[in-house]
Structure 1
Amino acid sequence: MSKASAKATRNKKSAKSSAILGKKTLREPLQKDSSFIPEKYEDVLALGFLWVAIVFFFWPVLFGGKVFLVPDNTASLSISTFLEEAKKEGLFPLWIPYIFSGMPSYGSLLATGDRSFDFLYVLWQGAIRLFVLPMSKEAGWIVLYYFIFGAGIYALLRQKSATAFQSLVGAFGGSFATLSVVWVTVGHNTKVVAVAMIPYALLFAERLRQKEGWKQFLLNSALLAMVLHVLVRSTHVQMIYYAVMAFGAYFLFELIATLSKKEPVQRWLQSAAGFLIAFLIGVLMSADTYLSVMEYSSHSIRGAESITKTYPELAPESADSKPTSGTGLSYDYATNWSFAPSEVITFFVPSYYGYGDQTYWGPQIFTHSPNFFGASILILAIVGLIYYRKEAFVQALAVVGVLALLISFGKYFPLLFDPLFNHLPFFNKFRAPSMILVLLEISACVLAGYGLKAVFEVRAADENESERVPFRFAAIGSSVLFLASVVGVSGCKTSYFEGLSKSDIGQQILARYGREVPNVIAQFGQPIFEMMKTDLFISMMLAMFLLVGIFMFIERKVPAVVFQVGVMLLVIVDFWRADARLLDGVKSAQEQQQYFQATDEVKFLQEKAESEKFRILPLVADRKSNWYAYFKLESVGGYHAAKMQLYQDLIATVGGGSTEHPSFYNSPAMMDLLNLRYIILSRAAEIPGFTIVFSGSKTILERNNWAPRAWFVKNVEQKSDKEIIEAIQSSSFNPRETAFLSSPAPEGIDAPSAETNLKITNSGLHQLDLAVKTTGKHFLFLSEVFYPAGWKCLIDGNETEILRTNFAFRGVIVPAGAHEVKFVFEPTSFAIGKYLALFSNIFLVLVLGFLAFDWVKNRGEKNKEAPTEK
């Protein structure tokens, strides 16, 4: 049949349908049936629908009294009393004494305080709190960022001429992708804040390129600066780094596209310059944070070299140490959670490797959920990429998405990952390469909006038959595949179980239960296989409905209203079936309150801490290691992803490598140096040199003859770091009599006499005061972690040098006489950063104020010039 006769036949069918319906033909122009909502209400209603959907999904934690009681959230809540204590003392919380025998709390991004000098961000936070006032204080603010994220994708698509409906689908994908929804359920809240700003940054980058005039340049640069400031303030450095990589790839690709088309580069230069200026301002507004981070980084496991790398023999064979390279993490540690290429199937079938946690059997160490961002979104994104493949912005999105996917492979794709790890600045400071997949998610969601644009354009293009053919084949193919999956998936059970048995999880199951439980793999894998099969059916069915619906729509057999409602329902079902499982683990708020109730052993320790300074070592499994910090009890263990390297070296060489439960009790010298007094056990047990002093819900052992927080030593000797560690491991010296320095030992140190004494007179978060009386030139050892970037020692008001003593602690030389010795924490980086942040805020306010004044002035002049109607 010729094209002309085919068209005539189609027209006859259309006319017949119109006669039967007695209504207007479905073959009317696109603009007449693309939306059933008045244009002026489209954006408000679309974003309102998105917000209602988000609130409905998160209802249990917003209004139902439920909370995400997960390790990362409890770790944050564990330091809430520390923040209250700092506020009460009138301090910005820069140092926390309650974990790892003390460490920087601000430079390590563990905590923050009142940043009133960053007043624009204070206003932003105030607006967030006001908006979510009726909701849960703990969950409301972070749930709002999911809406902000989706609204950013929506605004970006609207900027690229997508309709409200097309933009809404992309926005819904961003807000509900399992890949990012999982973050709030596991307490990774700062990731959400960072990612929510990425679409806005691209939006303003596009506006900088498209809008003319210096006032538009100033306005878009200023708004972009605020967007980038919120991104930077998220303090999730890894996500910020990936965002910057995406922006760099975007601008590089736009430059290549401009040059290849031989277009003027002025627009590109305008956009790039505005972006760089905005980024500089946005970073300077957080200068206090990032100067502190940069300063701390050189002392942390992500910047300093481990002693076990230089001297591997120092680490016991049983130690689970992670030596660093001196500029970042070790390769093995950094590539944990590499996304294996085989897991790409979870983009379409979320539970192929199980859904997460106990059901997961894929290549990663573990995961809480699949990296799923919607089968429907994936299909629409492919349509958008194919149809708009010649558009530079689409090409840039595709490049960013593909690069993100390849980088996420990590150790499974060393051809790309290894050069980046070895040569790209700061790249080797991050672990979990799979985290970068969020850039693929954003690209796919925006491209999905383009995909729906393509569908509507093909529908409007009556004369172009060739563009309809692929949709016809896609509809037929998806139907065939759906039927094939229904018929054939059950026959794949054997091969599925074989893959499970060969996986790391499968091997562990076989090693543990294989001899006792017959067909243990089948028993473990059967429910997972059924879950996978259900997900496969749903994905294939949704794909079939979507592609058949698209074909019927472009053939004018389905009205636009029905098509839009149908697509929206498909997208909702697609995400809801995967996301709903993420809320299975929510707990009641009462459980959280009970979790932080003081137990009998806590009350015992708090009573002891009122009169003496000491540290504890919790060795209990039912409490997270930072839990005791909630009760302001100082611990030698803890949890943090970027510990101080000196302390990590002690853990690796003397503590057996266990960060949360270091076995420091094996070395009497180490226990002296740490001021360790109590060990907490789940049940009664004997440890040499300890006596049981409390039996209740937990057992508390007190060390016999425990060492105080500070003392004077008789001898000071110089030894290498290796020799010092070996002496601590073997306890071949008495720390109460001898101190080791890595630097040259001072001469003329006098041994303390009977008249020598010291007393701690004041103890605060950032200060420790001692009243001392010496009979000569004495050496004072202090059981506090050595950190040169901020700690100062003042003897009678005069600063004296703090010497790194016994590898990781502090020592000072005290002259003869009665003295007041003060240790204070006053990092210069924070003080400088505060002023830079303040001045950047003022500058941005002046720019916005000038633009607002100019707008009001021009509007007034236009009103005066307008003719008055009689």
Structure 2
Amino acid sequence: MSNWFKRNGIHLAIIALFIVLCFIYFSPALQGKVLYQSDVMQAKAMQSEIMKYKAEDGKAPLWTNSMFGGMPAYQIWAQFPKNLTSYVVSFFSAVFPNPVYNVLLYLLGGYLMFIALRVKPLLAAAGAIAIAFSSYNFIIIEAGHTNKAFAIAFFAPIVAGVLMTLRGRYLWGSVITAFSLAMEIRANHIQMTYYLFLALLILAGIELYHAYKNKTLPAFGKSIGYLAGAVILAVAVNASMLWVTYEYGQETIRGKSNLSQDASAGKPSSGLDREYAYTWSQGVGENITFLIPNAYGGESGHRLDKDSEVGKTLAAKGIPQEQVEAAVQQLQQYGLINTYWGDKPFTSGPYYFGAIVCLLFVLGLFLIRDRIKWWIVAATVLSLFLSFGKNLPFISDLFFDYFPLYNKFRAVESILVIAGLLVPILAIMAIQELVSGKHETKVLLKKAAYSVYITGGIILVILILPGLFLSFKASNHQQVIEGLTQAVGDQGFANSLANALIEDRTSMARADALRSLIFVLIGAGLVWALIKKTIKQEYIYAIFAIVILIDMWGVDRRYLNNEKFVEKNTLEQSFQPRQVDELILRDPSLNYRVLDLTTNTFSNATASYFHKTVGGYHAAKLKRFQEVLDKQFNNAINEDVLDMLNTKYVITNDEKNQSQRIQNRSTACGNAWFVSNVLWVKSADEEMQGINSFDPKKEAIVHESFKSLIDVRKAGVPDPNAKITLTKYHPDHLTYEYTAGKDMIAVFAEVWYDKGWNAYVDGEKIPYFRANYILRAAQLPGGNHTLEFKFEPVSYYAGENISLIASILLIGGIGFAGYRERKRGNK
């Protein structure tokens, strides 16, 4: 045991240092404070009903009615108790507070990867810091994109496992790959995993080429075999989650369109709308922020003060000094003053890789000859091109139209996470190459000088002649001037403000250019010291780690700092019921719905915290529900649709009294009702047209494909005394009692989703069908009966059993690999 500690002492010390770093950065977490994350608050609202029943039952329901009339709960929060990775996630979240564990995982993953690349520990620590503290990794934590952050954290260990396997360490490499990929998939951010897959596909292609060239195809084939096994195992560990996600994905806005009208109008028959997917496209010139963070004005919400040029211009106009700052912030609040001037609608901050890291990356381009360089270059260039989206349609459209699954994802700029991983890898490899002894000192100094000239030259241009390549004007500059003119009532003054804004943007770029130049010069000095061997290597590695940390830390604190933390009770009080909420909650009825028009109804989850809503927020709504929103809610709200969704209350703003008021809708159909007429239609378009104007209490619009499930002869004449009532409500188990003199057609105010819902009359399973485009309906036998709808998705339960078996195999594989490694070490 003492020998083990001796061999691994440096690794343990670095891991301890990482933990200390995380707690220093997030010191408010030690004081019991919590990070306020907007998306996490949205998630809390979305999960409200799920957590309520989890607390009551000891397990979470698989369905929730808290948004969009109902959707699978496992797309919001689920336990997956038979999945090994669930316990790993629980361990980190229990031991380390949020977001400490996120950054710690960034650091540990990066460190493991560099150690796998045979980088010395102190230099590996510097590389881990460069990867972990990339600005985007902190920006997404601040926003609350925890799943995305978790997925990115496992990029590096997956790369480590793949490279180890390709380099001949088959067992240990494939086990690391299997475990890391299982964790990656568990993060349930398929978009990030997909982007990593694209990068690894390029790696496989390069390795195949070299295997063919060097006549080592058998070894390459063996590596691919081990990696294929690792992938299969990782997928199997997450079988339940992947299965239900795939199943649900076919029915969402990322799946096929149901309406031919949309196809003829240019909307995609499958996948996202192109314009929607490309909304967040990286500007081609915006990549300069990799080196100079504020070259494009920083974050959209960056605050200008009274000493800014905009502030001085307002003061010169006669605004009292004490009111200047408030005036600036008011103009910013209305979107008339925005320091960010890039192509995106807004941004929470730039992609900054670090000035020293960029310098070393350029050095790596000159210095490294290993084939891994060509993988890094090729994958980085691809990520850049694809991040441009609408700004480089030739390449983006090629992938969007023809590459499998690519059109399922939006915010294409986020593929830059691949560059954020690979740029530091080449940078650290450049340092390692400097001390490898493969190059003459003269050659090293020459290539180092080239690197300084390139990175320093770019910085100097921005510092001295910023307007040479950067305009500092947003594409909507003229509209901004028009808006300012309308706000201040003076076009000349509006032009002065717009010019002042340009000066502020220029000043921000210059200030960061000077900052980056200082770090580049520090990096150049350390490179020179390494080449000249004036300082011991380990010391220089440690200094690299420190200055990279200082560089990245300073930028990250702009977006994620102590001010973002609040007291726990403040967070807990974020959801305070309004008077209208309290009044509605007094209604003892089961499973009625609320339409809250005081918020961004269909892109905000706040109302879901208190009510079962027609609106809500989710990135993957059911396609049919979205189509109903598009057709029945866009121009005017279709009251018939609200009735069939059992919308009993509508909350609106009372502008006169600056409060909210409730509209009590007596026409709501209830939880279930019997109809006297079925109107058959031949297509989804006719279904949609049918609900444009109809009486949902009397008729049901049904697609003719369901004719076999209805015996019209038995259900032809209505029974006026028939009655059906929801007697027991549980999100994934609804119980009704009904009385009918004969067979009748019942319609339920429940969203149609046939991937798991089953209907039972007195315990016997019966068929059900779709009605009114998005609801469930069934022909019920006459008499006094109990009807139950239970959500029993085979994909979840069968998938969980597969997950259990695979988890056991993965644990066994890790144990066996560890045993073999220990046995080899004792020889």
TM-score range, shorter chain: 0.7 to 0.9
Q: Distance in 1 between matches of 2:104 and 2:13?
A: 14
Q: Aligned ranges for residues 422-441 of structure 1 at < 5 Å? A: 422-441=401-420
Q: Give the superposition deviation at 1:556.
A: 4.6
Change (3 A) 1:477 1:549: farther
Q: Aligned ranges for residues 177-326 of structure 1 at < 5 Å? A: 177-211=134-168, 217-260=170-213, 262-307=214-259, 309-310=261-262, 325-326=268-269
- The one-letter code sitting in structure 2 at the alignment partner of 1:117 is K
Q: Does 1:646 align with 2:624?
A: yes
Q: Distance in 1 between matches of 2:458 and 2:381?
A: 26
Q: Does 1:514 align with 2:485?
A: yes
Q: Give the superposition deviation at 1:374.
A: 0.9
Q: Distance in 2 between matches of 1:207 and 1:597?
A: 52
- The one-letter code sitting in structure 1 at the alignment partner of 2:210 is A
Change (3 A) 1:220 1:540: closer
Q: Give the superposition deviation at 1:283.
A: 0.7
Comparing 323-332 and 369-378, the one that deviates more: 323-332
Q: Distance in 1 between matches of 2:238 and 2:801?
A: 10
Q: Does 1:60 align with 2:28?
A: yes
Change (3 A) 1:847 1:46: closer
Q: Distance in 1 between matches of 2:454 and 2:194?
A: 41
**Between Structure 1 and Structure 2, whose CA radius of gyration is higher?**
1
* Residue pair 1:301, 1:324 contacting (<8 A) in 2 also: no
- The one-letter code sitting in structure 1 at the alignment partner of 2:396 is F
What residue is the counterpart of 1:51 in the other structure? 19
Q: Does 1:626 align with 2:605?
A: yes
What residue is the counterpart of 1:586 in the other structure? 564
Change (3 A) 1:858 1:332: closer
What residue is the counterpart of 2:581 in the other structure? 602
What secondary structure, in the 3-state scheme, does the structure 2 residue paired with 1:581 have?
coil
Change (3 A) 1:421 1:594: same
Which residue of the other structure, out of 148, 151, 166, is the alignment partner of 2:123? 166
CA shift digits 1:39-78 (9 cap, x unpaired)? 9754333343333223222223454614223134433454
RMSD across aligned C-alpha pairs, in angstroms? 2.9
Change (3 A) 1:183 1:616: same
What secondary structure, in the 3-state scheme, does the structure 2 residue paired with 1:739 have?
strand
Change (3 A) 1:219 1:344: closer
- The one-letter code sitting in structure 1 at the alignment partner of 2:445 is R
- The one-letter code sitting in structure 2 at the alignment partner of 1:803 is F
* Residue pair 1:752, 1:774 contacting (<8 A) in 2 also: no
Q: Distance in 2 between matches of 1:789 and 1:522?
A: 58
Q: Aligned ranges for residues 35-114 of structure 1 at < 5 Å? A: 41-61=9-29, 63=31, 65-89=33-57, 91-106=59-74, 109-113=75-79
Change (3 A) 1:58 1:638: same
Q: Distance in 2 between matches of 1:737 and 1:777?
A: 16
- Give the paired residue count: 770
What residue is the counterpart of 2:767 in the other structure? 801
Q: Give the superposition deviation at 1:329.
A: 0.9
* Residue pair 1:152, 1:200 contacting (<8 A) in 2 also: yes
Determine which structure has greater relative contact order: mean sequence separation of CA pairs < 8 Å that are 6+ residues apart, divided by chain length.
2
Change (3 A) 1:339 1:791: same
What residue is the counterpart of 1:868 in the other structure? none
Q: Distance in 2 between matches of 1:289 and 1:483?
A: 51
Change (3 A) 1:56 1:707: same
Q: Aligned ranges for residues 111-126 of structure 1 at < 5 Å? A: 111-113=77-79, 115-118=80-83, 120-126=84-90
- The one-letter code sitting in structure 1 at the alignment partner of 2:804 is L
Q: Give the superposition deviation at 1:583.
A: 2.2
- The one-letter code sitting in structure 1 at the alignment partner of 2:745 is F
Comparing 582-591 and 442-451, the one that deviates more: 582-591
Comparing 175-184 and 674-683, the one that deviates more: 674-683
* Residue pair 2:296, 2:341 contacting (<8 A) in 1 also: yes
What residue is the counterpart of 1:145 in the other structure? 102
Q: Give the superposition deviation at 1:475.
A: 5.1
Change (3 A) 1:312 1:62: farther
Q: Distance in 2 between matches of 1:345 and 1:715?
A: 65
Comparing 546-555 and 416-425, the one that deviates more: 546-555
* Residue pair 2:122, 2:538 contacting (<8 A) in 1 also: no
What secondary structure, in the 3-state scheme, does the structure 1 residue paired with 2:776 have?
strand
Q: Aligned ranges for residues 788-827 of structure 1 at < 5 Å? A: 788-827=754-793
* Residue pair 2:253, 2:626 contacting (<8 A) in 1 also: yes
What residue is the counterpart of 1:673 in the other structure? 644
* Residue pair 1:69, 1:587 contacting (<8 A) in 2 also: no
Q: Aligned ranges for residues 382-781 of structure 1 at < 5 Å? A: 382-388=362-368, 390-457=369-436, 464-472=441-449, 487-489=464-466, 492=467, 499-500=472-473, 502-504=474-476, 506-515=477-486, 516=489, 517-518=493-494, 519-556=496-533, 560=537, 563-564=540-541, 566-583=543-560, 586-589=564-567, 590-608=569-587, 610-621=588-599, 625-631=604-610, 633-656=611-634, 664=637, 667-683=638-654, 698-719=660-681, 720-729=683-692, 731=693, 733-743=694-704, 746=710, 747-748=712-713, 749-781=715-747
Change (3 A) 1:522 1:855: closer
* Residue pair 1:714, 1:737 contacting (<8 A) in 2 also: yes
Question: Kindly, what percent of the aligned residue pairs are identical?
Answer: 23
Q: Distance in 2 between matches of 1:478 and 1:286?
A: 44
Q: Give the superposition deviation at 1:148.
A: 2.4
Change (3 A) 1:542 1:822: same
CA shift digits 1:610-630 (9 cap, x unpaired)? 234311011123997322322
What secondary structure, in the 3-state scheme, does the structure 1 residue paired with 2:770 have?
strand
For structure 2, list consecutive stretches of 5 or more residues without a partner in the other structure. 1-5, 302-338
TM-score (norm 1): 0.83
Change (3 A) 1:472 1:556: farther
What residue is the counterpart of 1:35 in the other structure? none
Comparing 60-69 and 599-608, the one that deviates more: 60-69
Q: Distance in 1 between matches of 2:459 and 2:700?
A: 74
Q: Distance in 1 between matches of 2:452 and 2:246?
A: 54
Comparing 696-705 and 527-536, the one that deviates more: 696-705
Change (3 A) 1:306 1:122: closer
Change (3 A) 1:475 1:650: closer
What secondary structure, in the 3-state scheme, does the structure 1 residue paired with 2:176 have?
helix
Q: Distance in 2 between matches of 1:565 and 1:853?
A: 33
CA shift digits 1:823-858 (9 cap, x unpaired)? 111111112111111111222334445556778899
For structure 1, list consecutive stretches of 5 or more residues without a partner in the other structure. 1-37, 314-322, 658-662, 686-694, 863-870
Comparing 699-708 and 84-93, the one that deviates more: 84-93
Change (3 A) 1:259 1:64: same
